[in-house]
Amino acid sequence: MAVSSFIMMLHMFDFTESSVDHMKKTKVLCFANNKGGSGKTTTCSNVGYGLAGLGKKVLLIDGDMQLNLSLSLFPEEEVLAMARSEKNLYMAMKKQEELTGYIVHTPYEGLDLVPSSTLMSGIEYELFTKWQREFILKKALKPVKESGVYDYILIDAPPTLGGWVINILCAADGVIIPVEASPWGLFGLANMFEFLDEVKEMTPQLQLLGVAITKVDTRKNYFKQTVQTLREMSEVPVFDTYIRVDSAIEWAQDDSRPVIAYKKSSRSAKEYMSLTREVDALWQ
């Protein structure tokens, strides 16, 4: 898609109410983009770990049947055991129970998790017949949020735009959109904005906190155009930090750790710490 037509498309959407509400104690943020592989889970995991490293108490919620967020914190056997147990997000949603009883501690200080299950593939079906089905997650999260135990609750969304992602967006105060620096990454973003505009009618408090540019390959010239296009969108906030392609991310995932925990000195770890500080600064 030509960059100019992408910008024209963006002008259709209204993000003018996206200033951050400084009064909320526990901030609920979600990482969403219907484009698969855009860096949602990697960003959610590392920003969560980074915030915990800044002394914040953080709850991560794995909202995807791919279990990737859980796998970024626990070895595969443990993730599969949690996915098969009664203590995961799918069971909480199916039983419409509050999430307090579904939280597990991760190996990292200040970082907890509500794990996912492969059964999340059927979540749309589970929600279909439920009363006020767009707000099941929001309701389940309310006691955790109101307890004030956590500074941040971060939710990782799957790469879809259905009723479950509407639930995630309705439970959140703000959304961060990780976007891969590629032409198709931009194309997917236009769909995402259109969807957000519709969801905002259901949940007017939802704020677009920013677009986070990921998987930037500085060896390819195309990345400059993507970054420039995104930064020129005056109505859309874009984080200053962008995350470059780094093999340390894959090694970290292979080792079931966020890259900041795996290799603090790596390029992507430093970039994710910088992005974390930008996210945290939204409330300073």
Ligand X SMILES: Nc1ncnc2c1ncn2[C@@H]1O[C@H](COP(=O)(O)OP(=O)(O)OP(=O)(O)O)[C@@H](O)[C@H]1O
Given the rule CB under 6 A, which residues bind ligand X?
A: 36-42, 64, 66, 68, 158-159, 214-215, 243, 245-246, 249-250, 253, 268
Q: Which stretch binds Mg ion (CB under 5 A): 60-68, 82-90, 161-169, 232-240?
A: 60-68
Chain mean position to CA 171 = 12
Q: Which does 72 bind (CB under 5 to 8 A by kind): ligand X, Mg ion, none?
A: none
Shortest Cβ 43–ligand X spacing (Å):
7
Q: Which does 37 bind (CB under 5 to 8 A by kind): Mg ion, ligand X, none?
A: ligand X
Shortest Cβ 275–ligand X spacing (Å):
11
Shortest Cβ 259–ligand X spacing (Å):
8
Shortest Cβ 203–ligand X spacing (Å):
22
Kindly state whether residue 43 participates in binding Mg ion, applying the rule CB under 5 A.
no
Give the E-state strand segments of the chain in sequence order. Answer: 27-31, 58-62, 104-105, 111-114, 152-156, 174-180, 207-214
215-274: contacts with Mg ion (CB under 5 A): none
Other C-beta atoms within 10 Å of 101: how many?
11
Q: Output 41 or 207, the one with its CB closest to Mg ion.
A: 41
Angle in degrees, 0-180, between the axes of helices 247-254 and 267-281, rounded to the nearest 10: 90
φ/ψ (deg, to 5) at 7: -65, -40
Q: Output 66 or 274, the one with its CB closest to ligand X.
A: 66
Contact in structure between 114 and 103 (CB atoms under 8 Å): yes
Kindly state whether residue 68 participates in binding Mg ion, applying the rule CB under 5 A.
yes
Angle in degrees, 0-180, between the axes of helices 3-10 and 183-202, rounded to the nearest 10: 10
**Residue 143: Cβ-neighbour burial (10 angstroms; 0-12, 13-18, 19+):** exposed
Number of chain residues interacting with Mg ion (CB under 5 A): 3
Shortest Cβ 222–ligand X spacing (Å):
16
Kindly state whether residue 40 participates in binding Mg ion, applying the rule CB under 5 A.
yes
Partners of 33 in beta bridges: none
Q: Output 26 or 268, the one with its CB closest to ligand X.
A: 268
Shortest Cβ 253–ligand X spacing (Å):
5
Q: Output 26 or 41, the one with its CB closest to ligand X.
A: 41
φ/ψ (deg, to 5) at 278: -65, -40
Distance, in Å, from the CA atom of 213 to the CA atom of 123, rounded to the nearest integer, reads 29
Q: Output 165 or 249, the one with its CB closest to ligand X.
A: 249
Q: Which residue has the tokens 């009883």?
A: 101
φ/ψ (deg, to 5) at 207: -115, 140
For binding to Mg ion (CB under 5 A), which residues are involved? 40-41, 68
